[in-house]
Every structure is written in C-alpha cells, then in structure tokens.
C-alpha cells in the first residue's frame, strides 16, 4: 500500500473500514444538515465565524447564494440593536459564551434580511463536534408572523385581565357610597390586626350607625336615604385621610372605620371629629327624637399588644358592644373601650 508522507492513504479504498465508515457518516450528516434539512441551519466555528449553512438559511435572509451571505456575515444579517435596546454584538457575545459554558442557548433575536427588512426570530444554539472539531450549530426560526398574529390575542388577554381586575375592585366597593364594602372588611381586618401585633402598635376600630335611619327612609323616601348615606360616607372619609385609614360600609346604615396606630386619646379625637362632621352637614331629619338633623352613634375599641384582646374578632365585638351602649345611652354620642375590658353590654342590633 502506498501512502503520503503524512501517513494518510492516497486512495479511499486504502482507509481502514471503520475510518471509511466514519467519514461516510460525516458526509451523510453534512449532506442532511445543509442540503436536505428543512430548517434554517448555520454552522459556526468556536469564535462564531461562518463555516456553512443550509439552503433554507440562505432563503430566509433573501440572499441569492450562500457565497453572498458568507461574504458579509454576520454584519449583513445583523441589526444594530436588539428590541431591549442593547447592542446586538454585546448580546451575541454573551450568548456565544453561554454556549461554551453551558452547551446550548435559546433566545429571541432581531435579524435583518438582505433588503433591509427586520424580523424577529427564535434562535437555538448548541455546541457540537463536526468534522472532528468543536463547532456551534444554530437553528433560526422566523416568528415575526406568529408574533403579529399573536398580538391581537395578547391584547385581548390584557384587556380581559384589566377588566377582571376592575370587576374584582368593584366587587369590593360599595356602589352607592364609593367606600369599601363588608367583603373587603372581612379580608382586610385580620391582616390589619396581625400587622399591628407584629409592629407592637395599637389598632382602633369604630362602628358608626346613623340614628333613626329607618324613620328617615320611611318619611323622606329611598332616594333621600341614599343621598343621606353618601353624605355620611363623605364626612367620615374627610375625617380619615391617612393612607392607612380604612372606611367601610358595613351594611345598611352602618359604617366601620379601621384606624391603625392609635391610642385611646387619638381614637376618641377621630370618633368625635366624625360625629361632629356629620352633625355639621345638617341633613334635615324631622323624625328624629334626638335632633332636627341627621346624627350618628359611634362605638369604638382599641387593642394593643399588651391588652387582653385575643384576636381581631374580639376587637370587633368590643366595638360592637360600645355601639350598642352609645345607642342605649341616648344616641348622638361616642362610647369607647379598651379591647378585653368586657362591661357585659350586649351587641348592637
């Protein structure tokens, strides 16, 4: 057998059978990769320099031939920046490094065709050995059409999500007065109590009831009754402007105010300010035995970490008892209690 000085046989039939089989397999792989594969495939060296590509890759970018594409690669397919505003070359370097370190990378990428048209693609890179040397295999898929078709659907989903959030918010708002409703109160009260306990601060709560509201409604009509509720809610809101204050229409003519970080003195000040604000609104009420205008009764309680108040339910019950006491004592007044100091008064009704 003759051979060259480098030891490589002159004729293929002089190769060992296993070596010939390996070369034939590489040839078959090569032909499949670049000539029969339906994907846009590119083969790069370790430094991301062009080696070869499939015909589908050439067609994707609109070049007349593989040679034309290779002559200017990668500048002739690159945009200056990616959609996030970062430099294309800076990001490309990061992805190539990821392939070297992790073996593969997949990402969305903005490319440019030969006519200057930009298109969004999905790129998959993987580290392989081809022809006996390490290479990078890339597959590029044009997803611009898919994205353009998906945009209306995405916009629809976004609008539906916005509508859902709006409906969720509306479900927690009393539509008449614009303050929160009982459902929201039930959700917030436990968290307000827990937050106060963790912070070592007191939490106050006021139960507010419009005095003799039924006679008012019966004689002035439901429209006037609705207007009265709005006035009372507005006056309460004007007296509770802290970001942490929380006003609720508890049901019917009853309101609740949650007041974090209050002591007995501050709670009494807020309660009295609310009572006076409603009285100063001077909503006529000729059928009240208390005054010639609409008045309110307020029962309140506050709980501190060192009190005997076991939980938020106990605090609510204490305030409710104080409301009953205010109504029993003649209405148009404020009655307060430190949570846990049970005076035996029944709940308000």
Q: Catalogue the active-site residues.
A: 253
Three-state secondary-structure class, residue 95 = helix
Of 323, 194, 196, 207, nearest to 257 (Cα)? 207
Distance CA 129, CA 31 (A): 16
**CA-to-CA dists, residue 259 to 51, 189, 239, angstroms:** 71, 11, 11
In the sheet that 334-338 helps form, which strands lie side by side, from edge to edge? 246-251, 254-260, 203-210, 296-303, 334-338
Distance CA 90, CA 80 (A): 10
**CA 118 to mean position of chain CA atoms:** 32
- Spell out the SS3 assignment of 136-155: EEEEEEECHHHHHHHHHHHH
Q: What angle do CA 249, 243, 298 make, to 5 degrees?
A: 40
**CA 219 to mean position of chain CA atoms:** 49
**CA-to-CA dists, residue 44 to 11, 18, 34, 111, angstroms:** 30, 27, 13, 17
Is residue 287 within 8 Å of 212, Cβ to Cβ?
A: yes
Is residue 42 within 8 Å of 140, Cβ to Cβ?
A: yes
Q: How many CA within 13 A on the CB side of residue 41?
A: 18
């Amino acid at each position: 057998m003759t051979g060259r000085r480098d030891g490589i046989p002159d004729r293929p039939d002089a190769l060992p059978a296993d070596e010939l089989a390996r070369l034939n397999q590489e040839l078959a792989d090569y032909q499949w990769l670049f000539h029969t594969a339906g994907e846009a495939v590119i083969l790069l060296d370790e430094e991301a320099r062009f080696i070869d590509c499939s015909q589908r890759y050439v067609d994707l970018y609109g070049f007349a031939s593989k040679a034309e594409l290779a002559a200017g690669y990668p500048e002739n397919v690159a945009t200056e920046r990616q959609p996030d505003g970062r430099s294309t070359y800076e990001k490309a370097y990061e992805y190539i490094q990821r392939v070297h370190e992790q073996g593969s990378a997949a990402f969305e990428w903005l490319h440019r065709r030969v006519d200057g048209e930009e298109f969004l693609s999905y790129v998959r890179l993987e580290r392989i050995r081809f022809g006996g040397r390490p290479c990078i295999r890339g597959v590029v898929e044009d997803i611009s059409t898919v994205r353009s078709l998906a945009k209306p659907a995405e916009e629809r989903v976004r609008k539906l999500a916005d509508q859902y959030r709006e409906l969720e918010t509306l479900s927690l708002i009393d539509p008449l007065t614009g303050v929160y409703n009982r459902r929201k109160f039930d959700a917030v009260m436990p968290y307000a109590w827990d937050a106060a306990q963790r912070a070592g601060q007191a939490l106050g709560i006021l139960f507010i009831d419009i005095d003799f509201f039924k006679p008012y409604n019966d004689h002035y009509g439901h429209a006037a009754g609705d207007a009265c509720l709005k006035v009372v809610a507005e006056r309460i809101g004007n007296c509770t402007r802290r970001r942490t204050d929380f006003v609720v229409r508890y049901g019917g003519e009853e309101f609740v105010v949650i007041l974090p970080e209050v002591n007995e003195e501050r709670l009494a000040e807020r309660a009295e300010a609310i009572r006076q604000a409603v009285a100063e609104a001077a909503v006529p009420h000729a059928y009240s035995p208390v005054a010639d205008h609409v008045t309110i009764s307020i029962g309140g309680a506050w709980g501190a970490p060192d009190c005997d108040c076991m939980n938020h339910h106990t605090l609510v019950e204490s305030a409710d008892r104080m409301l009953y006491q205010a109504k029993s004592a003649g209405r148009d007044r404020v009655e307060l209690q430190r949570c846990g100091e049970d005076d035996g008064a029944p709940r308000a009704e």
